[in-house]
Amino acid sequence: MTFRLAFLIDPIPADDPRTDFAGTISPIDPDAPALSVSDLSSNRGDGIFESIAVVDGHPQETGAHLQRLAHSARLSDLPEPHTAQLRAAVEAAAAQCPPGECTIRLLLSRGVQHGGPGQGIHGPTIWLTAAQAPDNTAARENGIKVVTLDRGYDSGAAARAPWLLLGAKTLSYAVNMAALREARRRGADDAIFVTSDGYVLEAPTATLILRRGDTFLTPEPTGGLLQGTTQLSAFDWLEENGHPTGYEHIPTAALYDADAAWLVSSTRLAAALTHVDGRELPVDRDLTAALNAYLLSPRD
Ligand code: PLP
């Protein structure tokens, strides 16, 4: 039987002093309709979310995910979420997850627009879902092929046009999903977005880490991409194991000369890149296995 659950969460102000959230987190049928047809998440993709991995009942890096949700809310002019309430919801959901890997998604939409455009908005709407995670063993053990895809903006876009919300994890993922379909049309498993002036950004649902010599690098998070919680955690582990890490503007050409590279994300964890644009990359199987063992251990 596949496991799924859903909670509807009554939004409370971020400074509400209560510590007991009973009555504000309601289990709902994950298969029954729950959102208004006027909710701005479905009408405009206007909202933010987080995907949190659960391993054997332990939600991974809840604090980092809730911090990023608050950051996305600030960038998107959404009300600041009540972190302790959302943590309680995540913990209640994780406690019901079966052994193995599950994914919790926490979603916050601007709310419901009564009476159409220009009218008042009642919101936000907050809900959570949990389900068994897909089996990612093949990507973790055998690696993946990627192609680079032009993201259509240059490396100055995030600073020049903050309204593009490039550092926020918004619900508008149609472009990211289109990029994954394009990658598959080109015979690859995944894509890496690059800027129009030739710098590496990120994958549609993952962060890039590459190794140059003994140093592990990831693109500067200020340059129009989402800062990954898995990358942050992986860098802590790499540093503890004596490997220097750093943030850089990475030219696309540097990908082809990397000594190894990975896409990392909360659910798939670390997948080594075997090919970039058809060119083979060296794969460090031992390090990939050790990194994934760490990422599967309980992390806070
Ligand atoms: N970049 C994008 C665009 C993403 O959607 C994600 C996760 O879904 C990531 C990076 C990786 O983030 P995390 O490691 O927190 O899952």
Q: Cis link prior to 124 (omega < 30° from 0)?
A: yes
d(CA 218, CA 265): 13
Pocket of ligand 1 contains residue 72 by CB under 6 Å: no
Distance 51 CA to ligand 1 centre (A): 8
Measured from the Cα of 65, ligand 1's closest atom is 15
In order of their start, the domains of the chain are 4-132 (3.30.470.10), 137-295 (3.20.10.10)
Q: What is the DSSP letter of 163?
A: G
Distance 219 CA to ligand 1 centre (A): 13
Pocket of ligand 1 contains residue 207 by CB under 6 Å: yes
Pocket of ligand 1 contains residue 202 by CB under 6 Å: yes
- E-assigned strand segments in the chain: 4-9, 25-28, 47-55, 58-59, 101-109, 112-113, 121-122, 125-132, 144-150, 190-194, 207-212, 215-219, 245-248, 260-265, 269-276, 279-280
φ, ψ at 240 (rounded to 5°): -60, -25
Q: What is the DSSP letter of 80?
A: P
Higher-confidence residue of 219 and 115: namely 219
Ligand 1 pocket test, pick from 205, 229, 268 with the greatest ligand atom count within 8 Å of Cβ, gives 205
pLDDT of amino acid 222: 83
Residue 193 binned pLDDT confidence (cut-offs 50, 70, 90): very high
d(CA 149, CA 196): 10
Does pLDDT of 223 surpass 80? no
Does pLDDT of 118 surpass 90? no
d(CA 64, CA 53): 12
Pocket of ligand 1 contains residue 233 by CB under 6 Å: no
pLDDT of amino acid 203: 98
Pocket of ligand 1 contains residue 66 by CB under 6 Å: no
**Which residue, 107, 87, 78, 102, is CA-closest to 4?**
102
pLDDT of amino acid 1: 67
Higher-confidence residue of 221 and 195: namely 195
pLDDT of amino acid 116: 66
Q: Are 33 and 26 in contact (CB under 8 A)?
A: no
Residue 250 CB-density burial (10 A; 0-12 exposed, 13-18 middle, 19+ buried):
buried
Pocket of ligand 1 contains residue 93 by CB under 6 Å: no
Does pLDDT of 67 surpass 90? yes
Residue count of the chain: 300
User: Packing angle between helix 229-240 and helix 62-75, nearest 10 degrees?
Assistant: 140
- Angle among Cα 121, 123, 127 to the nearest 5 degrees reads 140
Residue 286 CB-density burial (10 A; 0-12 exposed, 13-18 middle, 19+ buried):
exposed
pLDDT of amino acid 152: 96
Pocket of ligand 1 contains residue 266 by CB under 6 Å: yes
High-pLDDT (> 90) share of the chain, %: 96
Q: Report the nearest-CA residue for atom 5 of ligand 1.
A: 205
Ligand 1 pocket test, pick from 207, 227, 229 with the greatest ligand atom count within 8 Å of Cβ, gives 207
Distance 44 CA to ligand 1 centre (A): 21
Measured from the Cα of 267, ligand 1's closest atom is 16
Ligand 1 pocket test, pick from 169, 190, 225 with the greatest ligand atom count within 8 Å of Cβ, gives 169
Distance 71 CA to ligand 1 centre (A): 14
ipTM for this prediction: 0.99
Q: Report the nearest-CA residue for atom 4 of ligand 1.
A: 205
Measured from the Cα of 226, ligand 1's closest atom is 1
Pocket of ligand 1 contains residue 265 by CB under 6 Å: yes
Tokens 């926020």, residue?
A: 168
Does pLDDT of 86 surpass 90? yes
Does pLDDT of 184 surpass 80? yes
Residue 197 binned pLDDT confidence (cut-offs 50, 70, 90): very high
Q: Report the nearest-CA residue for atom 10 of ligand 1.
A: 206
d(CA 58, CA 65): 14
Which whole number is the average pLDDT over 172-187? 98
Does pLDDT of 117 surpass 70? no
Residue 114 binned pLDDT confidence (cut-offs 50, 70, 90): confident
Residue 257 binned pLDDT confidence (cut-offs 50, 70, 90): very high
Residue 11 binned pLDDT confidence (cut-offs 50, 70, 90): very high
